[in-house]
Amino acid sequence: MLKKINGRMDISGAEISIKEARYPAPFEPALEYNMPARGHWNIVHTAMLVPGLHQIYACARGCLRGVILTAGEMMEMERMSFVTLEENDYFNGRIEDEITEGVTHILEQLEEKKKLPPAVMVVLSCIQLFAGIDFPDILEKLRQRFPEVDFIDGYMHPTMRKSGLTPDQVMRRQIYDALKENTSIEEKSVTFIGNDHAFPDSADQVKMLKENGYTVRDLALCKNYGEYLDLARSSLFITNIPPGRHAGEALQKRLGRKVLHLPVSYSYKEIRHNLLLLAEELKIVSPAEEEFRKMEEKADLALQKAKEIIGNTAISIDHTATFRPLGMARLLLEKGFHVTKIHADAFTGEEKEDFFFLKENHPSLMIASTVNAKMRFAGKGVNKGEEKILAIGQGAAYFAGTPYFVNIIADASLFGFDGIIRLAEKMVESFKIPQNTEQIIQIKGLGCGSCLL
C-alpha cells in the first residue's frame, strides 16, 4: 500500500469532499472491503423479531455459514435449521424435493419433541432463484403436511441488492407475511412497521398517539405469536425507516390498511410535518404552534448544552448509525458542531435535499467510502492525528480509531424532537467516557442477545 510523503496512507479516491461528490452514489463500484463494525442487523436478526418463528435456510455452505452463526451468537440455535445444497442438487432435477423433504424432516423432529413452531420461514438464496426453483410448490406441499404452521417464504439474495429490493427490505416485508387478511380491525390503534427497535413512550409520535387514547403496537414489543398476529388489528400502519417502507406498502395492498410513511428525520420542519400528517390522518388535535415551539426549544437546549461540552471537536458519522447521515450532519452543522466526515457509499432518496444543501453550504464536508478497497488501510485511526474525534456510529469509530463514539445503529429509535434530545445526551456521554471500540463494535446485532458479551 502506497504511503504519502507525510507518512499517511494514500486513500485518495476513497474519500472526497461533498463538493466533488455525486448523488446518490459518490463512488464508482469496485472491489469491496468489509469493515469490522458488526452492530447493524442482518436478515436473521430481523426475522428473530417474530416470536416463535423458526428459520430454515436452504443454500450452499458459504451462504449458510453466516446466518447459522448469527443465530449461534444470538444463542438462538434452537430456532435455526438448514438444508445444505450441493452442486449436484442443481443438476439432478430434485432440488425442490430435496428442500421439501429436508424441511419436513426438521419439522417432524420438532413435532416429536412437541416443539412444532407456530411459523416457519424457509429461506432460499440467489442461486436457487436464478435456477428458477418452484418455491410456491415447496411451500404448498409443506402447508399440506403441517397445516397448523404458518409458512413464510424468505429470501437471501444479495446478488439482486442493486437491481431491486435489497434482502433487508424483503425480509422486513416478509416478517409480516403471516399476518392474516381477515383480522378484525380495532379502531384507535396503530402499528409501527419495519423498525428494529420499539420507540420509547417519550417519542413524539408515540406520545401523541397515547395521549389521544391509541393503542400502539410494534413487532419489537411482541412477546408471543398471538401478539404478533394482533399487529394486523390496527387501523393504521406507520413506517419510519426507508427499508421498512416497502413492508408498509405491501401490507397496505394485502391487508387493505392505510399506511403512513413518516420518515425518520433530523429536520425540525420535517418532524413537524410528520406530526401534523399523523394528526390529520387520525383526525386528532395536532400540536399547536406554541407546543411545537416548546419542543424545538427543548431540542435546541439539549444541542446547545452538548455543544458547550463537545466544542469544536471533529465529528464523523456513518451510515450504520442512521438512515439520514446527511440530515443528522446538517442539523449538527447548523447548530454549530464541527462535523467533518460522513462514511457512506450511497444515499437514499430521502437524503437528496440535504445532500445538495450540504454541497452548497458545507462544501468541505468529507464523504468517505466504507467499502472501497483502500479503506482496508484506513481503519483504527491510521490516518488520525492527535485530535480527539467524536464518532456517531460504529463504522465511524473504527475508521477514526476513536474510543469516543455514540454506539447506535439504524437511528436507535432516536426519532423526532425527543430523538434529537436523546441524541444530544448520548453525544455528551460518549464524548466524556471512552469505550473499548474494538470489543464493542465487533459484536453482531446491537441490542440482540450475544454469547460474546
Point out which residues bind another protein (CB under 8 A): 1-2, 10, 13, 29-34, 36, 38, 60-66, 68-69, 72-73, 77-78, 81-87, 89-90, 98, 101-102, 105-106, 109-110, 125-127, 130-131, 156, 158-164, 371, 373-374, 376-377, 379-380, 438, 442, 444, 451-452
Give the shortest CB-167-to-another protein separation in angstroms. 8
Question: Which 3-state string (H, E, C) describes 184-224?
Answer: CCEEEEEEEECCCCCCCCCCHHHHHHHHCCCEEEEHHHCCC
Give the shortest CB-400-to-another protein separation in angstroms. 15
Pairing of strands 338-343, 405-406: unpaired
Closer residue to another protein in complex, CB, 22/180:
22
Closer residue to another protein in complex, CB, 188/376:
376
Closer residue to another protein in complex, CB, 83/238:
83
Give the shortest CB-9-to-another protein separation in angstroms. 10
Give the shortest CB-154-to-another protein separation in angstroms. 14
Give the shortest CB-367-to-another protein separation in angstroms. 19
Residue that the C-alpha cell 436523546 belongs to: 422
Helix, coil or strand: residue 323: coil
Give the shortest CB-65-to-another protein separation in angstroms. 5
Give the shortest CB-365-to-another protein separation in angstroms. 24
Closer residue to another protein in complex, CB, 14/236:
14
Distances (CA, A) of 325 to 160, 200, 250, 329, 423: 24, 22, 27, 6, 13
Q: Are 264 and 415 in contact (CB under 8 A)?
A: yes
Residues 261, 241: Cα–Cα separation, whole Å? 8
Burial class (CB in 10 A: 0-12, 13-18, 19+), 411: buried
C-alpha cell at 276: 401534523
Residues 278, 272: Cα–Cα separation, whole Å? 10
Give the shortest CB-105-to-another protein separation in angstroms. 4
Choose among 257, 337, 346: nearest CA to 28: 346
Residues 106-136 as b/e (b if ≥16 CB within 10 A, e otherwise) read bbeebeeeeebbbbbbbbbbbbbeeeebebe
A 10 A CB-CB count for 149 gives 19
Give the shortest CB-62-to-another protein separation in angstroms. 3
Give the shortest CB-163-to-another protein separation in angstroms. 4
Residues 15, 12: Cα–Cα separation, whole Å? 6
Residues 13, 373: Cα–Cα separation, whole Å? 10
Angle 33-73-375 (CA atoms, 0-180°, nearest 5)? 15
DSSP H helices, 113-164, are 126-130, 135-145
Q: Are 311 and 287 in contact (CB under 8 A)?
A: no
Closer residue to another protein in complex, CB, 183/442:
442
Q: Are 405 and 36 in contact (CB under 8 A)?
A: no
Q: Are 447 and 432 in contact (CB under 8 A)?
A: no
